[in-house]
Structure 1
Amino acid sequence: MTTSTTPTELPAVIRGYLTAEDPDAALHTFTDDAVVVDEGATHRGTDAVLGWLHRAASEYTYTAELTGAERIDPDHWLAVQHLVGDFPGGVVDLRYHFTLRDDRIAGLTIAP
């Protein structure tokens, strides 16, 4: 059952990912075999996820505000961020679907 929650009630590992200062810090929130799906591309494993994190951090300049959160079940969470920046369109609300395993992120799918 999906339960709306406040962003501050997201698991610590998700909050850590969303507030990480750099790609290397963000990588520590993922399992070694994590799968990330973003902009239609799938990134599997530590090296691919780190490459994606570096590209995502350097491609555009933006601000992000965490505007919503839902607990789907103990291992599945949704976070919504409002982004404003120099990317095409300039404004977007992104939905981050997290799958957790052993207090780390095993899966992340990002979509509008």
Structure 2
Amino acid sequence: MNHTDLRSDALPSTVRDFLAASTVHDADTASSFLAEDIVVVDQAETFRGRDEVHTFLREAGSEFEYTTEQIGAHRVDDNHWVVTLRLEGTFPGGVAELDYRFTLRGGLVAELVIANHA
């Protein structure tokens, strides 16, 4: 595995563009970077297919105000990338560091696992 911290401009455009859209709560644009059979795992919940994930993206965190900052990123291999985001806001705990583990296929996000940063 090749674990190096990358600047966001070194990430694949699909990952950069998805994160940019999801950070501003633009679920429609974010969904355009997803494979039809996308699987998203967020903590203990799993969402399958573009429609279900679009709803998740639209509703996730909508009851809170928060900022998002990328604090780390690395390439696992050509199809697997991990981006660490720091969220600060009005949600319980006020601060969270989350790993977004992307699996790419055909230029789209095929799987996304969101978990607490170790």
TM-score (norm 2): 0.90
Provide the identity percentage: 44
Q: What is the correspondence of 1:11-50 to structure 2 with a 5 Å cutoff?
A: 11-20=12-21, 21=24, 22-50=26-54
Number of corresponding residues: 112
The residue type paired with residue 32 of structure 2 is H
The runs of at least 4 aligned residues of structure 1 exceeding 4 Å deviation read: none
Cα deviation 1:8-51 (Å, max 9, x = unaligned): 21110111111104111110011010000002100000111011
RMSD of the TM alignment (CA)?
1.1
Contiguous gaps of at least 5 residues in structure 2: none
Q: Structure 1 residue 7 and structure 2 residue 8: aligned?
A: yes
Cα deviation 1:52-108 (Å, max 9, x = unaligned): 011115232110001110000000000001110111100011100000001110000
TM-score (norm 1): 0.95
Q: Structure 1 residue 66 and structure 2 residue 67: aligned?
A: no
Once residues 91 and 57 of structure 1 are traced to their aligned partners in structure 2, the CA distance between those partners, rounded to angstroms, is 13
Once residues 63 and 114 of structure 2 are traced to their aligned partners in structure 1, the CA distance between those partners, rounded to angstroms, is 16
Residue 59 of structure 2 aligns to a residue in which SS?
A: helix
